[in-house]
Structure 1
């Protein structure tokens, strides 16, 4: 995959599917908003949407680790678990794939325990979703573990 153009990657993304995560336990869907910081890092605002419609957000920062390999270290300073979960040197946010128009992206972790399918819209054509699953599988992820977000619309 080619190097991710951060200026095209920033903005709002809807989570379409994910591996279940303890920190997203009560989330039926989620969004991620990325914006550039002056120091070259990226501001990350992840928002969890609960079944009752309430929301909670967490703000972090993504630092490029290996720009050519699309790897970032994402941390959430000031949160209690940030001290408990070390961020690996090789990064914990790997952009595995992004479509040419920056409409969909696949993000995973090097240990293959976390996977997210992101889209600029909650609607994703079935063919695109199947291609995303295929790409994730080629990278060593198990698409059968994915949970579809409540706001996601897959298909026509």
Structure 2
């Protein structure tokens, strides 16, 4: 039986001893987790991630929509939940997780989808969301591209 999490359109279903979370095009299998446990971990994670990004979101740009905030923070929260669960750790998203290169990558990809070829807007909005200067964001992105070997 699916569990629908409020306005996030997140569906959590039981699959044997595991739970599957689906939203939009995202699909996460949380092994050896009951849906109620995933729901509790999700609620704690998403609340923390949204508190962390709320002020940055408001300041980043005047053309960011609330539905985009919900989608971006949901992707970040589920990514980090998956990392903790796959590694057999207690789910506890931290400020350090939100400063991790993978979080930066999620934000960068969000801005790329939103702004297409407008590199200046991508850099400006992503840097504000990540609480970095544009120069610091550019340095991170250069290193990230080397890491990705692009």
Q: Same fold (TM over 0.5)?
A: no
| Class of the TM-score when normalised by the shorter of the 2 chains | 0.3 to 0.5
Q: Which has the higher helix share?
A: 2
Q: Which has the higher strand share?
A: 1
Higher RCO (C-alpha 8 Å, min separation 6): 1
Greater Rg by CA: 2
TM-score, structure 2 as length reference: 0.35
